C-alpha cells in the first residue's frame, strides 16, 4: 500500500489497534488498511444476507446481527473478535438498524 493511498480508514477501525492507555496503533498503516478493506468488504457483502435472514427467520435485527457475529467468530482466523464486532456494527449502520454497541457480544447494553 503506497503512502498516497486514497483509502480513508475511519478512527473507529484504527482504535481496534490502539491498546488501552496507548496513543498509537500497534500495527502499521499498511496492515490496518488491509484489515479495514477486508472488514468493510465483509460488512458490504453481508447486507443482503442479513436482510434475507431477517425475513426468512422472522427474527429481530439484533438477532440477525448476533448470529452473523457468531458466524464471523466461528470461522477462526478470518477476523479477530474486535474486528467481528466492528463488522457487525458497520453492517447495522449500512442497513439503518440499531447499533448493537461495542460490547454486544459480551452481554453489555448498547451505547
Total tally of structural domains belonging to the chain: 1
54 vs 108 pLDDT, higher one: 54
Percent of residues, the chain, with pLDDT higher than 90: 79
Q: What is the mean pLDDT of residues 59-66?
A: 95
Which is it for the CA torsion 59, 65, 45, 94, positive or negative?
A: positive
pLDDT at position 110 over 80? no
**CB burial of residue 67 (10 Å; 0-12, 13-18, 19+):** middle
Q: Is residue 6 part of a domain?
A: no
* Domain range enclosing 97: 11-104
Q: Is residue 2 part of a domain?
A: no
Amino acid at each position: 500500500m503506497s503512502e498516497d493511498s486514497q483509502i480513508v480508514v475511519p478512527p473507529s477501525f484504527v482504535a481496534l489497534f490502539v491498546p488501552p492507555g496507548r496513543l498509537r496503533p500497534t500495527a502499521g498503516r499498511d496492515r490496518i488498511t488491509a484489515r479495514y478493506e477486508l472488514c468493510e468488504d465483509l460488512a458490504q457483502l453481508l447486507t443482503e444476507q442479513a436482510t434475507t435472514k431477517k425475513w426468512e427467520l422472522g427474527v429481530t435485527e439484533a438477532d440477525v446481527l448476533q448470529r452473523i457475529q457468531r458466524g464471523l467468530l466461528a470461522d477462526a482466523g478470518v477476523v479477530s473478535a474486535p474486528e467481528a464486532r466492528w463488522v457487525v456494527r458497520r453492517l447495522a449502520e449500512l442497513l439503518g438498524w440499531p447499533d448493537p454497541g461495542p460490547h454486544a457480544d459480551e452481554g453489555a447494553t448498547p451505547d
